[in-house]
Amino acid sequence: MLYCLSQLPQYPFQGVTIMSELRVRFAPSPTGYLHVGGARTALFNWLLARKQGGTFILRIEDTDVERSTKESVDAILEGMKWLGLDWDEGPFYQSDSFPLYKEYVRKLLDAGKAYKCYCTSEELDAKRNLAMQEGRKPKYDGTCRERADQPEGQPYVVRFRAPQGGVTAFDDLIKGTITFPNEELDDLIIQRTDGTPTYNFCVVIDDATMRITTVIRGDDHVNNTPRQIQLYEALGFPVPQFAHVPMILGADKARLSKRHGATSVISYRDMGYLPEALLNYLVRLGWSHGDDEIFSSEEMIQKFDIGNVGRSASVFNTEKLNWLNAHYIKTGDPARLAGLLLPHLSAHEVTTLNGPDLMAVVKTLQERAQTLEEMAERAVFYYNAPVSYDEAALAKFDKELLLAVFAAVTEKLASAPLGDVAGIDALFKEVCTENSWKMGQVGQPVRIALSGGTQAPGIGEIVVTLGVDETIRRIQKAREHAAGK
């Protein structure tokens, strides 16, 4: 029965918001970069909005003035933009709405639905520790809940007077019905001693005033949901739908964190991943559409269904991301890839000014690189002629053979007009038959001469890309190297 709701792909909001337009939001707190978990949450929100013609709102939750930074905000926006997750409204900043929150705190206070609490954090900490030690749930004991006196000039926090007894339940779009006994929930603080509002309260006010219809957020917020629902009800706001997406874990099944390697979206860009690859990887983490693996943005939008998101956490697997990235590099537009490759090339001290056409270079490397970084590494030899050779590989051939091969190839190349890849390949075959050499005896030495090593594109591709003149120059150099041994 729990599945019924989520198994109606076309009508996920049937009977609840059927008339109103979908409004979703991504609400990161600017205390770090946009990490892959956040990016996936943003993606699911974006997908649903785009699919249903709804509105995607970006809201920055910066009520913690201490830890929020402008740099983090910029980093988050940069990550969103790189992934192509465009938003329709915002970014809104919670720090701009403090007066609004205060107003609602006032309302709850006036209505007796909230009260001032004069307990100090030291007292609270002590009680909490004691409760934990005794194996009880560490919840506020309600000391100030019914107190009549209001000590003048004493610092206080404002607590929400939570309903006691009964249960608070909701139908999660991903997890099904979740029920909490109200006795598990204590009177949460909605305003701090310094007068600033707290997270759970701001979220409710914002989601309500922004008319959010569906809250899609991380799994770690499930426990906050019943308290928020109680606030919605106390405030007289309609309760939105909730969808809690499972966490992303590291290989050791612990929550993904820096020690598992890169978690920042931007660091994936810098390592040479394509945004469409990361997006594709992220959408398949916890969600699937039959046996499909490759999704363009359009296909994701078309096929996405929040009800098909899995209920369990998933492990982030770089191998699969690599495969996806290789796929998009393989099928990508060479001109675009060339542009994206530039920064990686300069990191390897390569200038493309005096060398082969970069787009031609990219074409020879598309099937050979998993990341742009790897492609850059493999492209270096095109622009910087080898200064040393893979001696171990060279040692497999006699000095005499080497010299003969280099001479024959040079001669053949010099006498023939520059052809296409097939033409050059044919030319090498001729050299082989004319001298009774095997292709391995010719191709490998030439490859080493041209690239310095043994791992490179096909000989024909290299020669055509490099040009005959440069090819001959490099073979000549290798010939001298071989002669000197």
Q: Using the rule CB under 7 A, is 138 a contact of RNA?
A: yes
Catalytic residue, chosen from 258, 396, 399, 429, is 258
Q: Using the rule CB under 7 A, is 135 a contact of RNA?
A: yes
Q: Using the rule CB under 7 A, is 415 a contact of RNA?
A: no
Q: Using the rule CB under 7 A, is 116 a contact of RNA?
A: no
Nearer to RNA, 198 or 264 (CB): 198
Interactions with RNA, residue window 225-284 (CB under 7 A)? 247, 249, 253-255, 284
CB of 239 to RNA, least distance (A): 17
Q: Using the rule CB under 7 A, is 63 a contact of RNA?
A: yes
Select from 50, 447, 474, 481 the one that contacts RNA (CB under 7 A).
447
CA 271 → CA 262, 341, 370, distances in Å?
Answer: 10, 11, 11
3-state secondary structure of 176: strand
C-alpha to C-alpha distance for 123 and 133, rounded to whole angstroms: 15
Select from 193, 267, 352, 384 the one that contacts RNA (CB under 7 A).
193
CA 279 → CA 60, 82, 266, 381, distances in Å?
Answer: 22, 10, 13, 32
Select from 143, 182, 267, 454 the one that contacts RNA (CB under 7 A).
454
Contacts of 328 (CB under 8 A, 6+ apart): 274, 276, 277, 280
Select from 95, 120, 143, 267 the one that contacts RNA (CB under 7 A).
120
C-alpha to C-alpha distance for 157 and 189, rounded to whole angstroms: 7
Interactions with RNA, residue window 310-339 (CB under 7 A)? 310-315, 317, 319-320, 322-323, 326, 330
- Residue whose pair of structure tokens reads 């024909």 in the numeric block: 460
Q: Using the rule CB under 7 A, is 390 a contact of RNA?
A: no
CB of 19 to RNA, least distance (A): 25
Nearer to RNA, 54 or 115 (CB): 115
Nearer to RNA, 200 or 213 (CB): 200
Which among 218, 284, 240, 235 is positioned nearest to 42, based on CA atoms?
A: 218
Q: CB-hemisphere CA count at 13 Å for 245?
A: 29
Structure tokens at 74: 């910029």
CB of 353 to RNA, least distance (A): 26
Nearer to RNA, 27 or 54 (CB): 27
Which among 212, 182, 153, 174 is positioned nearest to 21, based on CA atoms?
A: 212
Q: Using the rule CB under 7 A, is 460 a contact of RNA?
A: yes
CB of 146 to RNA, least distance (A): 18
Which among 116, 126, 106 is positioned nearest to 159, based on CA atoms?
A: 116
Nearer to RNA, 99 or 236 (CB): 99
Structure letter (DSSP) for residue 1:
-
Q: Using the rule CB under 7 A, is 349 a contact of RNA?
A: no
Structure tokens at 104: 């609602």
Contact window for RNA (CB under 7 A) among 74-82, 141-149, 184-192, 343-351: 184-192
Structure letter (DSSP) for residue 141:
-
- 8 A C-beta contact, residue 458 and residue 408: no
Pairing of strands 23-26, 55-60: parallel
C-alpha to C-alpha distance for 43 and 174, rounded to whole angstroms: 15
- 8 A C-beta contact, residue 88 and residue 55: yes
Instruction: Name the residue type at position 292.
Output: D
Contact window for RNA (CB under 7 A) among 97-105, 207-215, 401-409, 458-466: 458-466
127 is annotated as an active-site residue: no
Total binding residues for RNA by CB under 7 A? 88
Interactions with RNA, residue window 280-309 (CB under 7 A)? 284-288, 290-291, 293, 308
Interactions with RNA, residue window 73-92 (CB under 7 A)? none
Nearer to RNA, 151 or 440 (CB): 440
Select from 51, 102, 113, 192 the one that contacts RNA (CB under 7 A).
192
- 8 A C-beta contact, residue 160 and residue 230: yes
- 8 A C-beta contact, residue 217 and residue 45: no
Select from 106, 347, 455, 483 the one that contacts RNA (CB under 7 A).
455
Q: Using the rule CB under 7 A, is 29 a contact of RNA?
A: yes
Structure tokens at 118: 């004069």
